[in-house]
Structure 1
Amino acid sequence: MDVSEKPWLHSRAWWWARVNRPSSAAIILAAAALLVISLFQHNPTAAPFSSPAICASPASGVPGRQSCAGFYAEGPPRKAVFSIKEFGGIGDGRTLNTAAFRRAVERCAALGGMGGAQLNVPAGRWLTGSFNMTSNFTLYLEDGAAILGSEDPKEWPLIEPLPSYGRGRERPGARHISLIHGNGLHDVILTGNSIIYI
């Protein structure tokens, strides 16, 4: 087809010649995809592929807030429920509660084979050093509860590096253990509507 025979085609299709090049088409396609993705991020309920059965679960415990926690099946309720206060814990933000957390987890570990146990941390500021979790265990932070990591280095035991590394991540030799620690555990839940400060 000769453009000189149809001048209107030449004047109206100038933009198509620019888009027809692969580089321009790829840029326009990528920009459109980014626009669509950003729209779904601002309004997740509009996403065509979201699963209301999983991601619109009210499992977060906060009205109007979505959570994907519904994806995970809730296990059976724990056979025993304790409060950290039963083990001498004081949530004033100054008293060190490392021994109370360790006693509580030790007691919960003894009940692991009988359906597990739950340790509730009530509202307050709970200062603690490192403690180990156990299997078949739920650590539940009630509204207003905050676990605060101690600034005393003696409250953070040293653990040896993995043999394959031969050193810690930051430096040679041992490193300090994490605030809430566990190795080889199963059926462990850390939940609630509060904060852990390390």
Structure 2
Amino acid sequence: MVGKPQQRTRRTQQRILAAARDLFAETGYEATSVDAIAARAGVAKATVFAHFSDKASLLIAGKIQRLAALSGTMRQTIADGSTDHPARYLADVFRPWLVLYRGDPEFARLFLSQSTLNDGPWTRQFLDICATIEDNAARAVDRLRAEGRLRADLEPETVTQGILAFYYHMIVGHSVGALPDGRAQETLFDGLIATWMNGCRSTTAPA
């Protein structure tokens, strides 16, 4: 049973997170100060830092549930998705992540600058999920290989790194404005994956 002090702590944390989400949506991540978040939440600035080490942690904390859900969806797609068309299968594995980062450019930039993040519980959760994405990409390639849909002479790590390179390129491209919208991003991603898999696939497997 959760005691009253813990309940108050959770309520305070949720109030701070709600204030941060609202302000990030209203004025943007860069323009939002911790002072403004504290004022909107009705707490002292020190209270914000007691729960979240910095502003980046607030942005991460507001996304962590969705990230965890997407990670679960990714695993499900890898395990249960149809591999009849390997390129389409791999594109489906990554597409929800592209939608996430496309919908929040500030969060995409945070993802692309992971090495600059300060250590803390929210950061560690975020980095763990980022690592899981790469592990899951390897699992998807392993499944294709096990089903005879990849050339036997190829190293799975090479195939995996190629797919991840396209994935990161899509996030960077949209973040800097080179890919102006979702259609442009997904069309290019699908084309790159299809071309890559055409060279990687077994000659007996469908395209």
Determine which structure has more spread, i.e. the larger CA radius of gyration. 1
Higher strand content, 1 or 2: 1
Same fold (TM > 0.5)? no
Higher relative contact order (CA 8 A, sep 6+): 2
Give the structure-1-normalised TM-score. Answer: 0.23
Give the structure-2-normalised TM-score. Answer: 0.22
Higher helix content, 1 or 2: 2
